[in-house]
């Protein structure tokens, strides 16, 4: 049996406040107890990636930086990525590709550029049989992802010791917590962009699976560029003009209310509701239910109605979604600019763990439709 008390209180509790929201049941927000660590150590192949909360670590706001997308340097034929022995299988006709035969740890810079382009084109890429890459360690993985952009720092959630760029998703033997969660919730799905409150939100995101159920715990990805195309020109024209304030203030307040460690102040960023992809030129809906708090130019009821409508389109659009079935030693990379995603809790955490890491490479300041048109006019 697992210990009844999973989490210890952190070493440096912050000030208390009332929680303002309930967050993702897929993620732990407090340190693991020593008893629990001993219990679960044998249930993951990579115990060094169990989440830690290091006290006394603080990060100031990340300054705006000049970004050069590696996909714009790529050879469109992708000869360095698709070498002999590499095969590609579509997940769906519209989006998603499964690559086998690729060794991430040996990719040249040219091959990484081509991988970036494939991610932009297909939205999500699953790379199977990546044991050597996963064993290469946190520093290697940070260096690899830094090719795609500067890495986001996690403000409250568990990371790898010494590497706050890692966001650790770890669920094991937390049946009571899940039972309590479903006393007030209908579903574990939480459709979101990763940390869209960043001034330069992540464009290239990596998930590395460290332990997974044989069945269940999938990740579902939706194509928000295709969702935008389904809208009428009149509706597109309206939301093209809207901007939203994305903030991490609720996440920070949640951590403080639960006496969790906080590594940074809240970040507020103004982003367009529709952004233009710098590589493909696609327009995509850039809204979610986790980070935006205000919609500039819309009244409250209008913002509520528009947001619900757009999220319903995305959540119900199964013909522009891809379901990622996790397999041992897989790595997934996806485009944060043109997708929303959610994890699923549909497995027995008492039998098998779900353990993975996320690294998020920040890219450009989101480009609005108006800015894109101005850029085109300047080029002509």
pLDDT one-digit tens code per residue, 50-76: 998 888 889 988 899 999 999 999 999
88, 82 Cβ separation under 8 angstroms: yes
204 has a pLDDT exceeding 90: yes
Q: What is this structure's pTM?
A: 0.90
Question: What is the model's pLDDT at position 379?
Answer: 63
Instruction: For residue 2, tell me if it sits in a domain.
Output: no
Residue 335 domain boundaries: 34-379
Percent of the chain at pLDDT > 90 equals 66
Asked if 208 and 279 touch (Cβ cutoff 8 Å), the reply is no
SS3 of residue 71 by DSSP = helix
Q: Does pLDDT of 380 surpass 70?
A: no
Give the pLDDT band of residue 377 (cuts 50, 70, 90). Answer: low
Domain count, the chain: 1
Q: What is the pLDDT of residues 239-272, one digit of tens each?
A: 999 999 999 999 898 888 888 888 999 999 999 9
Residue 217 belongs to a domain? yes
Cα(379)–Cα(374) distance, rounded to whole angstroms? Answer: 9
Q: Is 3 a domain residue?
A: no
Q: Is residue 356 part of a domain?
A: yes
pLDDT digits (tens, 9 = 90+) for 128-143: 999 999 999 999 999 9
Residue 207 lies in a domain: yes
The domain that holds 299 is classified in CATH as 3.60.130.10
**CA 201/CA 220 separation, integer angstroms:** 20
User: Residue 24 domain-assigned?
Assistant: no
Residue 7's pLDDT band (cuts 50, 70, 90): very low
| Inside any domain, residue 156 | yes
Does some domain include residue 204? yes
Reported as a single tens digit per residue, the pLDDT across 77-92 is: 999 999 999 999 999 9
3-state secondary structure of 163: strand
Residue 148: alpha-carbon gap to chain centroid: 15
Q: How many CB atoms lie within 10 A of CB 250?
A: 17
């Amino acid at each position: 049996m697992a210990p009844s008390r999973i989490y210890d209180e952190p070493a440096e509790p912050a000030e208390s406040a009332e929680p303002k929201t309930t967050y993702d049941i897929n993620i732990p927000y407090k340190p693991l107890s020593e008893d629990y660590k001993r219990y679960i150590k044998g249930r993951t192949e990579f115990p060094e990636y169990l989440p830690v909360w290091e006290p006394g670590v603080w990060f100031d706001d990340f300054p705006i930086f000049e970004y050069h997308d590696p996909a714009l340097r790529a050879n469109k034929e992708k000869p360095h990525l698709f070498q002999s022995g590499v095969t590609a299988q579509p997940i769906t006709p519209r989006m998603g590709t499964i690559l086998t035969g690729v060794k991430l740890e040996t990719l040249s810079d040219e091959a990484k550029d081509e991988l970036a382009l494939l991610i932009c084109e297909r939205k999500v890429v699953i790379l199977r049989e990546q044991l050597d890459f996963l064993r290469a360690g946190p520093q290697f993985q940070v260096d690899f992802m830094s090719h795609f952009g500067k890495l986001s720092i996690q403000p409250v959630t568990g990371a790898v010791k010494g590497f706050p760029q890692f966001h650790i998703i770890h669920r094991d033997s937390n049946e009571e917590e899940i039972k309590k969660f479903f006393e007030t919730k209908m579903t574990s799905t939480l459709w979101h962009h990763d940390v869209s409150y960043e001034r330069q939100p992540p464009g290239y995101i990596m998930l590395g699976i460290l332990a997974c159920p044989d069945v269940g715990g999938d990740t579902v990805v939706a194509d928000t560029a295709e969702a935008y195309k389904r809208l009428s020109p009149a509706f597109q024209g309206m939301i093209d003009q809207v901007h939203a304030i994305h903030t991490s203030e609720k996440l920070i307040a949640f951590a403080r209310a639960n006496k969790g460690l906080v590594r940074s102040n809240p970040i507020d960023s103004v982003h367009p509701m529709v952004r233009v992809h710098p590589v493909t030129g696609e327009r995509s809906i850039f809204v979610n239910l986790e980070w935006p708090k205000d919609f500039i130019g819309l009244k409250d009821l209008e913002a509520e109605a528009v947001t619900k409508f757009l999220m319903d389109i995305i959540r119900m659009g199964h013909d522009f979604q891809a379901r990622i079935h996790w397999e041992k030693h897989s790595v997934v990379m996806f485009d944060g600019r043109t997708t929303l995603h959610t994890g699923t809790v549909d497995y027995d955490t008492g039998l098998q763990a779900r353990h993975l890491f996320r690294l998020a490479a920040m890219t450009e300041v989101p480009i609005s439709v108006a800015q894109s048109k101005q850029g085109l006019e300047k080029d002509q």
